[in-house]
Protein backbone atom coordinates (compact mmCIF):
# COMPACT_ATOMS: atom_id res chain seq x y z
CA UNK A 1 0.00 0.00 0.00
CA UNK A 2 1.09 3.59 -0.50
CA UNK A 3 3.01 4.98 2.48
CA UNK A 4 0.77 7.08 4.70
CA UNK A 5 2.96 10.15 4.13
CA UNK A 6 2.26 10.01 0.36
CA UNK A 7 1.32 13.44 -0.99
CA UNK A 8 -2.10 12.99 -2.64
CA UNK A 9 -3.86 15.40 -5.01
CA UNK A 10 -7.64 15.00 -5.35
CA UNK A 11 -9.15 16.63 -8.46
CA UNK A 12 -12.91 17.07 -8.80
CA UNK A 13 -15.23 19.95 -9.60
CA UNK A 14 -17.70 18.81 -6.92
CA UNK A 15 -16.72 19.89 -3.40
CA UNK A 16 -18.86 17.11 -1.88
CA UNK A 17 -16.88 14.41 -3.71
CA UNK A 18 -13.56 16.02 -2.78
CA UNK A 19 -14.71 16.05 0.86
CA UNK A 20 -15.79 12.41 0.66
CA UNK A 21 -12.46 11.34 -0.85
CA UNK A 22 -10.53 13.35 1.75
CA UNK A 23 -12.50 11.66 4.53
CA UNK A 24 -11.85 8.19 3.06
CA UNK A 25 -8.13 8.90 2.64
CA UNK A 26 -7.80 10.31 6.15
CA UNK A 27 -9.56 7.24 7.62
CA UNK A 28 -7.07 5.10 5.68
CA UNK A 29 -4.31 7.08 7.41
CA UNK A 30 -3.13 9.47 4.68
CA UNK A 31 -1.85 12.73 6.12
CA UNK A 32 -1.06 14.93 3.11
CA UNK A 33 -4.16 15.44 0.96
CA UNK A 34 -4.62 18.50 -1.26
CA UNK A 35 -7.48 19.29 -3.59
CA UNK A 36 -7.97 20.97 -6.95
CA UNK A 37 -11.25 22.03 -8.58
CA UNK A 38 -10.48 20.93 -12.16
CA UNK A 39 -7.69 19.70 -14.40
CA UNK A 40 -6.29 23.15 -15.04
CA UNK A 41 -6.11 23.91 -11.30
CA UNK A 42 -4.57 20.47 -10.71
CA UNK A 43 -1.90 20.99 -13.36
CA UNK A 44 -0.92 24.34 -11.83
CA UNK A 45 -0.88 22.73 -8.37
CA UNK A 46 1.33 19.88 -9.64
CA UNK A 47 3.78 22.35 -11.23
CA UNK A 48 3.93 24.54 -8.10
CA UNK A 49 4.48 21.60 -5.74
CA UNK A 50 7.23 20.20 -7.94
CA UNK A 51 8.93 23.62 -8.12
CA UNK A 52 8.72 23.89 -4.31
CA UNK A 53 10.41 20.50 -3.91
CA UNK A 54 7.29 18.78 -2.53
CA UNK A 55 5.93 16.89 -5.54
CA UNK A 56 2.69 14.96 -5.39
CA UNK A 57 3.06 11.18 -5.41
CA UNK A 58 -0.53 10.21 -6.25
CA UNK A 59 -3.34 11.85 -8.24
CA UNK A 60 -7.00 10.86 -7.94
CA UNK A 61 -8.99 12.74 -10.57
CA UNK A 62 -12.55 12.90 -11.80
CA UNK A 63 -12.94 12.42 -15.55
CA UNK A 64 -15.72 14.92 -16.35
CA UNK A 65 -14.80 18.46 -15.27
CA UNK A 66 -14.94 21.93 -16.82
CA UNK A 67 -11.80 23.68 -18.15
CA UNK A 68 -9.74 20.48 -18.39
CA UNK A 69 -11.01 16.92 -18.03
CA UNK A 70 -9.27 14.23 -16.02
CA UNK A 71 -8.28 12.48 -19.24
CA UNK A 72 -6.77 15.69 -20.63
CA UNK A 73 -4.89 16.15 -17.34
CA UNK A 74 -3.66 12.55 -17.49
CA UNK A 75 -2.37 13.01 -21.04
CA UNK A 76 -0.63 16.25 -20.06
CA UNK A 77 0.96 14.62 -17.00
CA UNK A 78 2.15 11.59 -18.99
CA UNK A 79 3.81 13.95 -21.48
CA UNK A 80 6.21 15.19 -18.78
CA UNK A 81 9.14 12.81 -18.23
CA UNK A 82 9.27 13.33 -14.44
CA UNK A 83 5.58 12.33 -14.19
CA UNK A 84 5.56 9.41 -16.59
CA UNK A 85 5.11 6.97 -13.68
CA UNK A 86 3.12 9.21 -11.32
CA UNK A 87 0.28 7.04 -9.99
CA UNK A 88 -2.94 8.43 -11.48
CA UNK A 89 -6.44 7.11 -10.79
CA UNK A 90 -9.47 8.32 -12.74
CA UNK A 91 -12.96 8.44 -11.23
CA UNK A 92 -15.96 8.54 -13.50
CA UNK A 93 -19.54 7.53 -14.03
CA UNK A 94 -18.49 6.41 -17.49
CA UNK A 95 -18.13 2.65 -17.70
CA UNK A 96 -18.30 2.06 -21.42
CA UNK A 97 -15.51 -0.11 -22.72
CA UNK A 98 -14.21 2.55 -25.14
CA UNK A 99 -13.82 5.04 -22.27
CA UNK A 100 -11.88 2.52 -20.21
CA UNK A 101 -9.69 1.73 -23.22
CA UNK A 102 -9.08 5.44 -23.85
CA UNK A 103 -7.86 5.86 -20.26
CA UNK A 104 -5.72 2.71 -20.50
CA UNK A 105 -4.16 3.96 -23.74
CA UNK A 106 -3.32 7.21 -21.93
CA UNK A 107 -1.52 5.12 -19.26
CA UNK A 108 -3.96 5.57 -16.38
CA UNK A 109 -2.77 3.64 -13.31
CA UNK A 110 -6.28 2.57 -12.33
CA UNK A 111 -9.93 3.39 -12.96
CA UNK A 112 -12.82 3.68 -10.46
CA UNK A 113 -16.48 3.87 -11.46
CA UNK A 114 -18.67 6.08 -9.25
CA UNK A 115 -20.31 5.95 -6.81
CA UNK A 116 -17.12 5.28 -4.90
CA UNK A 117 -16.98 3.47 -1.59
CA UNK A 118 -14.12 3.54 0.89
CA UNK A 119 -13.38 -0.17 0.50
CA UNK A 120 -13.24 0.17 -3.30
CA UNK A 121 -10.83 3.08 -3.02
CA UNK A 122 -8.63 1.11 -0.65
CA UNK A 123 -8.60 -1.91 -2.99
CA UNK A 124 -7.76 0.23 -6.04
CA UNK A 125 -4.96 1.98 -4.14
CA UNK A 126 -3.53 -1.38 -3.08
CA UNK A 127 -3.69 -2.78 -6.64
CA UNK A 128 -2.10 0.38 -8.04
CA UNK A 129 0.73 0.20 -5.49
CA UNK A 130 1.30 -3.50 -6.24
CA UNK A 131 1.36 -2.84 -9.99
CA UNK A 132 3.94 -0.08 -9.55
CA UNK A 133 5.99 -1.99 -6.96
CA UNK A 134 5.99 -5.66 -7.90
CA UNK A 135 7.55 -8.09 -5.42
CA UNK A 136 11.22 -8.79 -6.07
Domain contains 107: yes
Domain contains 98: yes
Q: What pLDDT does 108 receive?
A: 96
Please report, for the domain that includes residue 35, its CATH number: 3.40.50.2300
Number of domains in the chain: 1
Domain contains 121: yes
Q: Say whether pLDDT at 96 is over 70.
A: no
Q: In degrees, to the nearest 5, what angle opens at C-alpha 102 toward C-alphas 8 and 15?
A: 40
Domain contains 71: yes
Domain contains 2: no
Give the range of the structural domain holding residue 17, as residue numbers without chain letter: 7-132
Q: What pLDDT does 41 receive?
A: 98
Residue-wise pLDDT tens digits, 5-25: 999 999 999 999 999 999 999
Domain contains 1: no
Residue-wise pLDDT tens digits, 32-88: 999 999 999 999 999 999 999 999 999 999 999 999 999 999 999 999 999 999 999
Amino acid sequence: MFPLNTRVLIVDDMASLRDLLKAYLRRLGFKHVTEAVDGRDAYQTLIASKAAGNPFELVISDWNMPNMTGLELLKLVRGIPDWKNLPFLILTTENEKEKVMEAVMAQVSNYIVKPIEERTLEEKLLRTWQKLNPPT
